[in-house]
Structures are given as C-alpha cells and as structure tokens.
Chains A and B, each alone.
Chain A
Amino acid sequence: MPLPYSKKVIQHFNKPHNYGKMKNPDGIGEVGNMICGDLMKLYIKVNQNKKGQDIIKDIKFETFGCLAAIASSSMLTDLVKGKTLEEAVSFDRKEIVQELGGLPPIKIHCSVLAGDALIEAIHDYLTKNKKPIPEALNKRHQQLATEKEEIKKDHQVC
C-alpha cells in the first residue's frame, strides 16, 4: 500500500544526499535487521574544530529499506554533518520528521532507526578511541543490543 509522502521525502528518496560506503571511517553504526526489512549503516569521519571539539567532518549512509527509511537516512546526514559530537549525541530525531515535512505514522520508526544509527556510529567512534561515553548514549546502545537479541529470539521459527 503506497503511502502519502511529502514532496521533501520523495526528493530525498529520488536524490539522496551522502550515500555510499565511506573509506576508512572513524565510526560505523549498524542498525535494523533483515527480519523487519530495514537495514541501515552509517559511517562518520571525525575531526577537531578550532576549539578542539570533535566534529562530524563527513557522514555517509547505506540503507536497505523503504522510501521513508532512505529519505530519513539522507535527511539525518544533512542535519548532523558539521555538528560537534556533543551536539550530535543530543540530536533530537524528531527533527528528521519535521524537516521531511512529516512521515506517515507507521513510518516514524524509520526516523528512529536513523537516529539510532547515529548513536551507534558515535558509540563506535568513542569506544575505538577510548574516549568517555556519555551515559545516555551508552544506555541507548545497550537497549539496542538487547532489542537485537529479542528480535532474533522471537523469529527463530522463520
């Protein structure tokens, strides 16, 4: 059943920004699963700004998913590129939906997924570089790991 999508969503789906694999990324976030039909991979390159803060210098995504998932991934990369990691950690994923001009209710989870991919990519970067991980970030990371296990367990039959 095709859903009513906004013009912006269609634009991002037709010409997504920042897609493709990144060479030598500093952090990778991988979320979603094949069982539900959504798979998102987010790559970040981290640099320091003049103040010495970590910033997202470059960001790329690869998504297997519906139109909303692809548009959400693309919008996320636009919204967080150039942000400091601190800003990115507290990034509100509702912004994705707002900037896209809304998503159908059953597709909101696509924007949640994109936000989670960012969390995972930052977590990966911080872990690799042995940097302190903010509590909220760590908590969501743990939650995602548990969810992954649960979905696997629930779908063992298929």
Chain B
Amino acid sequence: MRRIYLDNSATTKIDKKVLEAMEPYLKEEFGNASSLHWFGQEAHNALSKARGRVADFLGCNFLEVYFTGSATVSDNLAILGIIKATQKRGITKPHVITSTIEHPAVLEPIKYLEKTGEVEATYLAVDKEGVVKIEDVERAIKENTVLVSIMYANNEIGTIQPIAQIGDWLKARNQKSEKKILFHTDAVQAANYLDCNVDKLGVDLLTLSGHKIYGPKGIGILYKRKGVEIEPVVFGGHQERGVAPGTENVAGIAGFGEAIEEIKNQELRIKNGEKIKKLRDKLIDGILKNISGTDLNGSREKRLPNNVNTSFKGVEGESILMALDQKGVAVSTGSACASGSLDPSHVLMALGVGVERAHSSIRFTLGKYNTESEINYVLKILPGIIERLRKISPLK
C-alpha cells in the first residue's frame, strides 16, 4: 500500500544529511562534552559547531543559544525561568500576556503559575482568521506586565502571527519605560518557512524544535537575548551555562545543527516553500471545490505554506483520520475523540467556528518530501470517504 505522510506539523522525516551528521556521535565519538580528555573535546567541538550554525540562523550571538531536551522544555524554561527571575527581583505577582491559540507547552506552564498564585495572565483572543491583533497586545499591557509570549505560527491552523510588529511596538514601548517587558515566541512551526532573525522579530526569547525541521527528536533550542535574566527550572549541572543542566545530547545537537544548515540555505528554502505552497493550494482548492460542505479553518493568506485545515460537515474527524489511515494517508484532527479529552481543539474553538466544525476538522501538513502525485491521490480518495461517512451520519 502507498504510504503518504501529511502530518509534518507533528513531526518530520529525518534528512539523510542530518542522520549522517549525527552518526559519529552515536558511534566512535561518544564522549561527554564536559570531559577534559580528548573524547570530551571532540564532543564539545560538535556542540560549538552546531551552536554557531544556530546562532547564524537566528542572527544572534553564539552564547545566546541554549540546547534543551525539546521545544516543550524550551517553552517551559522561557516562561517559568523568566517569572522566577522576575520574582527574585522582588516583583511578587507579575503579569503575563499570551494568546488563546498557543501550544500547550506555553499555555500549561502559565496556567500552572496562575494556579499557584504566582502570576496574573491575560489570554488574548484571536480574530476569526486565527490571528492575534497588535492593538489587543497593547491594550492588555498592565503596570506589572513582564512577559508577552505569542507563537510565530500556529501548529493546528498554520496562521502566522504578527511577531515583528508586536516586537517593534514592544521595543518602542520599552524605550519609554523603566519596566521592561520581555517578548518570547514559539517558532517551532515557523522555522521551515519564515524569517527567524531575532533582531528583525524583536524577540528576547525564541523556541525551536529539532524534529519539526527534518532533524532528530529530543532536541530543542531556547534563544535568550544577552542580559535577559533567567533562572533554571531543573538543577544538577553546569551545562548550558547552568540554564539547562544535563549531559548534552551531542548527536541530537549535531543533527540539529545540520538541520538548521539545510533550512538556512535561502535558495533551497524559497524553492521548497514555493513547491509546498503550490501543493497546499492544490489540496485546499481541491477539497473546497470537489467536496460540498467543507470549510477552511484559519486565514488563507496569513498561513504557513504547508498547512491545510478543513472541516467536513456532518462527519467526525477521527473517523476521517482512520479511514484515510487505512488508505495509507497520515493526517491529524482537532476532534475530541482523538485527544482523549471531552473538548475539541482549543485552537478551533478560539476561532469561534463552533463545536461541530471543530469536531469535523482534519489537518493535513505538508513537507519537503511530498509530491504532486501524493496530493492527487488524496484528492482522489477523499470524496468517497466523506460521502461514505456522511451516509452513516445523522447530520445532513
């Protein structure tokens, strides 16, 4: 059976070059980067090389890059670590601004701090296109606001947030005030397609993930601007300047460096982005045109080139997912049935499309390995699947 992977926002297939770059550190060059002997130095050099590559991609200093165990760890470190450092400075109940469509890796630590009474939080609503409005950020600022965390692009609906504009506004505001507000963005989904230069974005903290950019799992990045105070959230070592202790995942870091090198190549980046966007548009148009009762969730224009999120009226998402899976096509859904909770996707609910549309949603996320023939195949089998499931459904 044909196997078609359209779940690239969940994870991506590792690039051959990445695997090759990792291999030595899983074999002969197995040293602990903290060891002083030759083995250790070999590993240490690998870290330095990768750190340099990431710094180059982000347009930052080498020492502003911290390797972590995952993007979730990076997001948690950014939020918990900044709040802890703020408390150390004597601000007892700081205020945090985020959006309702953030990844749980950002939402959950904020909710946790809210629960323990350590922060006040504002969750900004998005418009029906799934985009945060800059005016809303401005309006939410309070006397005790210390951190704004808004994702660069959403993982479910691919909508691109106005990070550079928010960054600009915050910079101007910070120049006029003694109380600086820090800006964090989770750029995990954006990295393949959008400019991640931290100065252009005006961010103080930025999160990246290895396995979303054709790199390995188990490796994340936190960029932290020089001078920004942060406290560690795990303890037990000096690694990553004490900010993210734990023996470094040398092979993972080397792989991350190689993956970044691949997406950094401007020419390749544009070529891949355009190819993927063409396929995305073909898939969106094909679904909306050939299947009745379908809607695109989230903005069509302010959208990542690889994201298609559509709802199929009258049919539940997990049943579509499983029917596609049996035909070899891998996708994901925002339906509650698939998540093990009673509630459908918080992102789709934030769009205000209603529960039915949220439960009926399917996310197709493309990647650099997808071909036009694969998209044609999906467009060929999908109408039949939807028609069959609609016949079973009580919603007509």
Q: Please, which residues of chain B bring their CB within 8 A of the CB of A145?
A: none
Assess whether A123 is interfacial by the CB under 8 Å rule: no
A65 within 8 A of B: yes
Which of B293-301, B302-310, B388-396 faces chain A? B388-396
Of B322, B323, B356, B394, the contact of A41 (CB 8 Å cutoff):
B394
Measured CA separation A26–B395 after assembly (Å):
21
- Determine the chain B residues whose CB is within 8 A of the CB of A69 once the complex forms: 316, 319, 337
User: A14-B326, A37-B355 known; A64 and B337 CB under 8 Å?
Assistant: no
B172 at the binding interface (Cβ < 8 Å): no
CB neighbours of B393 from chain A (8 A): 39, 62-64
Q: Which residue of A lies closest to B358 (CB)?
A: A37
Per the CB 8 Å criterion, the residue count for chain B at the interface is 28
Q: Is the CB of A64 within 8 A of B338?
A: no
A65 adjacent to B316 (CB under 8 Å): yes
User: Does residue A13 face the partner (Cβ distance < 8 Å to B)?
Assistant: yes
Check if B394 sits within 8 Å of A64, measured CB to CB: yes
In the complex, what's the smallest C-beta–C-beta distance from B45 to chain A, in angstroms? 40
CB neighbours (8 Å) of A5 from chain B are 322
User: In the complex the two chains form, is A63's CB within 8 Å of B322's CB?
Assistant: no
Minimum CB distance partner of A62 in chain B: B394
Max chain B Cβ within 10 angstroms of own Cβ: one of A2, A10, A62, A66: A66
Instruction: List CB contacts (< 8 Å) of A18-76 with chain B.
Output: 19-20, 30, 34-41, 61-70
Q: Is B339 an interface residue (CB 8 A)?
A: yes
Is residue A16 within 8 Å, beta carbon to beta carbon, of the partner chain?
A: yes
CA distance A100 to B321 in the complex (A): 20
Bound-state Cα–Cα, A47 to B240, Å: 76
Asked whether, in the complex, the Cβ of B394 is within 8 Å of the Cβ of A38, the reply is no
Known: A64-B316, A65-B316, A66-B318. A37 touches B325 (CB 8 A): no
**Interface presence of B314 (CB below 8 A):** yes
With a cutoff of 8 Å between Cβ atoms, the chain B residues found around residue A38 in the complex are 316, 337
Asked whether B340 is an interface residue with its Cβ less than 8 Å from the other chain, the reply is: yes
Interface string of B313-338 (1 = CB under 8 A from A): 01111110111011000000001111
Check A19 against B391 for contact (C-beta < 8 Å).
yes
Interface of A: prevailing SS? mixed
- Assembly CA distance A2 to B326 (angstroms): 11
- Chain A contacts for B359, CB-based, 8 A: 34, 37
Instruction: Collect the chain B residues with CB atoms within 8 Å of residue A65's CB.
Output: 316, 319, 337
Instruction: Digitize B374-396: 1 where CB-to-A-CB distance is under 8 Å, 0 elsewhere.
Output: 00000000000000000111110
> What's the minimum C-beta distance from A18 to chain B, rounded to whole angstroms?
11
Q: What chain B residues lie within 8 Å of A13 (beta carbons)? A: 319, 322-323
Q: Are A34 and B316 in contact (CB under 8 A)?
A: no
Encode contact with A along B138-156: 1 for CB under 8 Å, 0 otherwise.
0000000000000000000
Sample of 19 further A-B pairs with CB below 8 A, known A5-B322, A39-B394, A66-B335: A1-B338, A1-B340, A2-B325, A13-B323, A16-B392, A30-B394, A36-B336, A37-B337, A38-B316, A61-B392, A62-B394, A63-B393, A66-B322, A66-B338, A67-B318, A67-B319, A67-B322, A69-B319, A158-B349
Seen from chain B, the residues whose Cβ lies within 8 Å of a Cβ on chain A are 314-319, 321-323, 325-326, 335-340, 342, 344, 349, 355-356, 359, 391-395
**Top 8 A-B residue pairs of the complex, sorted by shortest distance between their CB atoms:** A62-B394, A66-B337, A37-B359, A66-B318, A41-B394, A67-B322, A64-B393, A37-B336
- 16 A/B residue pairs, CB under 8 Å, sorted by A: A13-B319, A13-B323, A14-B326, A34-B355, A35-B342, A37-B316, A37-B335, A37-B359, A38-B337, A63-B393, A64-B316, A64-B393, A65-B337, A66-B319, A68-B337, A70-B392
